[in-house]
Amino acid sequence: SNYSVRLVAFTLNGEGVQSLPIYCSTEEDVPGIPEQIKALVMTSDSVMVAWTRPSEPNGNIIKYTIYILHPNKEVQKEHVFGDKEHAYECRRLKEYQQYEFWVTASTRVGEGQPSMKVKQIPVSRVPAKLAAFSGKVIGSAGSKLSLSCLSVGLPAPSRIWRGPTGAP
């Protein structure tokens, strides 16, 4: 984490002049736990696992590891490199078999603690659902924002973005 520190003297006459900032940063550490996780059936042999980044990344996240616990108790690991993508399609699963999924984040220092575990059973009839999480997005006037909204199932859901007034 990066910090800037300024000092201000305060006397009976009021607040003084601020000092120039001093910049410092903490060493990188393993990241915190991915905040949210969900597993959504996509097809009879695939499940989408989606998560949100840790609230305490403790540095630059270089990858996420998706753990898949198969019905035979074998644990499979898949990786998503970088911190841009927060979803992964787990493929070649068996229909009507229960799988368990969890995610960890890693910095160059190492792997953080796992998210909570979620279970899912792939089936062929998949209702429409959103894989996205609700949240706040802040941007400045004139800047570009990217609003992703992953979904699964049929019929495919329509997506409409609305402003604060409720108008599209």
Q: Is residue 95 assigned to a domain?
A: yes
**Per-residue pLDDT tens over the stretch 74-107:** 999 999 999 989 999 999 999 999 999 999 999 9
One DSSP character per residue, the chain reads -EEEE----EETTEE-PPPPPEEEEPPP------S-EEEEEEETTEEEEEE---S---S---EEEEEEE-TTS-EEEEEEESSS--EEEE-SPPTT--EEEEEEEEETTEE------EEE---S----EE----------TT--------EESSSPPP-----TTS--
**Per-residue pLDDT tens over the stretch 57-82:** 999 999 999 999 999 999 999 999 99
Containing structural domain, residue 46: 37-124
CATH code: domain of residue 90: 2.60.40.10
Count how many domains the chain has.
Answer: 1
